[in-house]
Chains A and B, each alone.
Chain A
Amino acid sequence: MSTDPQPPSTAAQAAGGAGPLDAFLHALRRRTEAAPRPTPLPDQSNTALRAVRPAEELVARFAAEAIAAGCVVHRVTEANWLATVKDIVASLSARLVLVQPQSGTALTAERAAALGNALGTAGCSAVSKWDDDTLFNCDAAVTGIVAAIAETGTLVCVSGPAVARGASLIPPVHIALLDRTQIVGDLFDYFDRLASTGLPANINLITGPSKTADIEGILITGVHGPGVVHVLLLE
């Protein structure tokens, strides 16, 4: 990406019907022409501002920060992650669970299918539909995560084909499957990577459960989003 974005020459055409907008921008350019501009755009690199951590600390730091943000973190392996999800679902007495595989995440189609079977044997129906009734009535949703940020314990969910953005938002419990190799150091690391890839329509940086402190500053979780976020950290 360019270090100092220039307006493309097609700005006016691209704006299409925005006649008043063009007129405004034109007038604004004229009005501000003579104003002093002493401040240069700072360097794009944020390397000097990084929260420095050696790579081997990423996983521990992520887990600690996610817990501090209010997540429940489970360290799991390929051998026991299914059992862990089953335990969580059983503890919720869940009957309907949305399972949403996504490419580029640890929740591959194969793992999703295995999970569906495992939950089925436990008397819970796993579905991968995203109609309103499913989203609003299911007891939990299991999703993949495209990246995680160690410094803040943040999970990143993105929209895409067959990936409902409501899945990590509407059900009361969100169960996120994350591979340890997906953890980056801090926001700068994540945005550097984002800037070099295409942008999906919707990117959510999720840090802990939905919360409010509007009434007397008292922290309450589960306002409009999930009140409980389980992170399954696949080692």
Chain B
Amino acid sequence: MSLARDLRARIAAATTDRRVVNAVHLAAWRKVDARAESFAKLPHVEALRDKAAQIRQHVIENLPRYLECFVARATALGAQVHFAPDGVAACRIIAQIAAARSLSLAVKGKSMTSEEIGLNAALEAAGVRVVETDLGEFIVQIDHDRPSHIITPIIHKDRRQVARAMARELGCPYTEDPAELTQIARRHLRDIFRRCDLGITGVNLGVAETGTLCLITNEGNGRMTITRPRVHVALLGIDKIVPRLTDLPVFLKLLARSSTGQPMGAYTTLINGPKRPDDPDGPGELHVVLLDNGRSDILTGPLREVLRCVRCGACLNACPAYRNIGGHAYSSVYPGPIGSLLSPLLYGHAYDDLARVSSLCGACRLACPVQIDIPELLVRLRALASARQPRAKRALLRLWQWAMQNPWAYRLGQRLMRWFLPDDGDGWTRHGPGLLRAWTDTRDLPCPAVRSFRSIWENELRDEH
């Protein structure tokens, strides 16, 4: 099956259930509105975004230095820092930490990085029971589903689906009331929080200057995960660093507002090493697993600014393509505009086709707190991927490129177009011939004008100006 059909089939499959599409559409719009409202109340928004973008760009241009600094400081605070070149290595390191200490019940905070490396499956295979504790991720886990949004994992589910999964898996009485469903999950997970011995989280940002880890959650599950177990393992992508402690508030002002429209997440936690001898609670051991998994290749490639991303999810909500097809159509841990960039870069060329899931409208760029020029990067990615297209397609693209550069060929093309794209009688064409059919099947096209702008310009307008 060709990749193109694959993608089209995936989108078709992901959009068959109109309820899901509508749910995603509504929820994403709600977030767009909430974000706009909260940004309207924030002074100096553009200056903050400028500064955030510049800090992150500076870090990725100077990453080795800041990583070294982070490692030294975190180690001085008592953390044990490990390095994982890829996901398999990271899973192995974490499984070894668990095995060496006979840890058997792990609780997890929501972490896209852990999804990226398939940590749950790896730990389960090593005999560690892993329990997701973010409500959305918990439901994903018990329903054997996949998250479809990097911030709100079950944006594609309605309360009936949640109710069915909880009743079936937890044996609780069936209820569709979100408050009751939340209380059922709370009670179930409380018991696990009392017994767990390993806590695994991602990290929102690490601070080079101090070795601090910053973690933001709303439910308190993240705090539980780093308070209850005796060992905390934090999984940190090598790109997620800021230089100074005073850089953090620049991001804290933007992050929650971008994600959910809140001025702040309910809990922003700064972790400075394991618990101190006099502290009555908290993990006695802190392990930081620094994960590369393709990031250093991105760093040295032509799309490095994608590493500025702080995974706020704003570009997903802002994207008309995401809103209409939902996260599962992307078949990647990272959906949406940022996923269209990251997935091929992290997972390889099988995901190249995602770069085309965009109309390049630019809404993502406007939403991005670190001003990643996502449309520009998508175009660059498409150009890189075109080298791997089938020969016939490449020849066609070259022909196109050549025609666009030669006025007479362009004019000839215009004339031919009028032939190939007949008027349906209302100024629109819906039935392209041959290869063009696939295109017009899903898009109506205004017919090429009888007189081109060029000829109007040459014959009439030019004299008037």
State the A residues within 8 Å of B (CB): 1-8, 10-11, 14-18, 20-21, 24-25, 28-29, 31-32, 35-42, 44, 46, 48-52, 65, 69, 130, 132, 136, 151-154, 159-166, 169-170, 186-188, 190-192, 194-195, 199-218, 220, 222-226
Q: Can you list 17 A-B pairs, Cβ within 8 angstroms, ordered by A?
A: A5-B69, A15-B72, A25-B64, A32-B300, A39-B61, A40-B58, A44-B247, A49-B43, A49-B47, A130-B280, A151-B263, A169-B227, A201-B274, A202-B270, A205-B270, A215-B178, A224-B193
Interface stretch among B8-16, B205-213, B404-412, B449-457? B205-213
- When the two chains form their complex, are residues A215 and B58 in contact, meaning their CB atoms are under 8 A apart? no
- When the two chains form their complex, are residues B178 and A159 in contact, meaning their CB atoms are under 8 A apart? no
Q: Other CB < 8 Å A-B pairs besides A204-B269, A207-B266, A224-B224, 6 of them? A: A6-B65, A164-B281, A202-B275, A216-B158, A217-B26, A217-B152
Partner of B72, one of A3, A7, A39, A205: A7
The smallest beta-carbon distance between A117 and chain B, in angstroms, is 24
**1/0 contact string of B259-270 vs chain A (CB within 8 Å):** 010111111111
- When the two chains form their complex, are residues A224 and B71 in contact, meaning their CB atoms are under 8 A apart? no
| B231 within 8 A of partner (CB) | no
Q: A191 CA to B209 CA in the complex, in Å?
A: 13
Known: A31-B300, A210-B218. A187 touches B249 (CB 8 A): yes
Partner of A210, one of B43, B220, B276, B280: B220
The smallest beta-carbon distance between B8 and chain A, in angstroms, is 29
- Measured between beta carbons, the chain A residues less than 8 angstroms from B136 are 212, 214
- When the two chains form their complex, are residues B281 and A212 in contact, meaning their CB atoms are under 8 A apart? no
Q: Which of B80, B212, B223 has most chain A Cβ within 10 Å?
A: B223
Known: A2-B209, A195-B245. A10 touches B219 (CB 8 A): no
| B352 within 8 A of partner (CB) | no
Known: A164-B280, A187-B253, A207-B263. A224 touches B83 (CB 8 A): no
Interface stretch among B182-190, B319-327, B330-338, B440-448? B182-190
Q: A223 CA to B260 CA in the complex, in Å?
A: 17
Interface stretch among B49-57, B377-385, B415-423? B49-57
- When the two chains form their complex, are residues B248 and A191 in contact, meaning their CB atoms are under 8 A apart? yes
Q: A1 CA to B210 CA in the complex, in Å?
A: 10
| B139 within 8 A of partner (CB) | yes
The smallest beta-carbon distance between A46 and chain B, in angstroms, is 7
Partner of B223, one of A160, A164, A225: A225
| B292 within 8 A of partner (CB) | yes
The smallest beta-carbon distance between B358 and chain A, in angstroms, is 25
- When the two chains form their complex, are residues A202 and B246 in contact, meaning their CB atoms are under 8 A apart? no
Q: Which of A42, A151, A200 has most chain B Cβ within 10 Å?
A: A42
- Measured between beta carbons, the chain A residues less than 8 angstroms from B223 are 165, 169, 204, 224-225
- When the two chains form their complex, are residues A200 and B272 in contact, meaning their CB atoms are under 8 A apart? yes
Q: A15 CA to B42 CA in the complex, in Å?
A: 40
Known: A16-B75, A215-B162, A225-B219. A39 touches B224 (CB 8 A): no
- When the two chains form their complex, are residues B269 and A202 in contact, meaning their CB atoms are under 8 A apart? yes
Q: Which residue of A lies closest to B277 (CB)?
A: A161
Task: Give 4 closest A-B pairs by Cβ, nearest first.
Answer: A225-B220, A161-B278, A21-B83, A187-B249
| B88 within 8 A of partner (CB) | no
| B459 within 8 A of partner (CB) | no
The smallest beta-carbon distance between A26 and chain B, in angstroms, is 8
- Measured between beta carbons, the chain B residues less than 8 angstroms from A3 are 244
- Measured between beta carbons, the chain A residues less than 8 angstroms from B193 are 224
- Measured between beta carbons, the chain A residues less than 8 angstroms from B76 are 14
Partner of A39, one of B54, B85, B275: B54
Q: Which residue of A lies closest to B274 (CB)?
A: A201
**1/0 contact string of B225-242 vs chain A (CB within 8 Å):** 011100000000000000
- Measured between beta carbons, the chain B residues less than 8 angstroms from A210 are 218-220, 266-267
Q: A186 CA to B139 CA in the complex, in Å?
A: 36
| B403 within 8 A of partner (CB) | no
- When the two chains form their complex, are residues B58 and A39 in contact, meaning their CB atoms are under 8 A apart? yes
- Measured between beta carbons, the chain A residues less than 8 angstroms from B113 are none
Partner of B154, one of A41, A162, A208, A214: A214
- Measured between beta carbons, the chain A residues less than 8 angstroms from B266 are 69, 206-211, 225
Q: Which of B82, B134, B209 has most chain A Cβ within 10 Å?
A: B209
Known: A18-B81, A166-B227, A225-B223. A191 touches B246 (CB 8 A): yes
| B44 within 8 A of partner (CB) | yes
Partner of B51, one of A5, A7, A42: A42
- Measured between beta carbons, the chain A residues less than 8 angstroms from B162 are 215
- Measured between beta carbons, the chain A residues less than 8 angstroms from B292 are 24
- When the two chains form their complex, are residues A216 and B159 in contact, meaning their CB atoms are under 8 A apart? yes
- When the two chains form their complex, are residues A187 and B245 in contact, meaning their CB atoms are under 8 A apart? no
- Measured between beta carbons, the chain B residues less than 8 angstroms from A163 are 279-280
Q: A19 CA to B304 CA in the complex, in Å?
A: 26
- Measured between beta carbons, the chain B residues less than 8 angstroms from A203 are 269-270, 272
- When the two chains form their complex, are residues B83 and A201 in contact, meaning their CB atoms are under 8 A apart? no
| B351 within 8 A of partner (CB) | no
Q: A65 CA to B38 CA in the complex, in Å?
A: 13
The smallest beta-carbon distance between A73 and chain B, in angstroms, is 16
Q: A71 CA to B267 CA in the complex, in Å?
A: 14
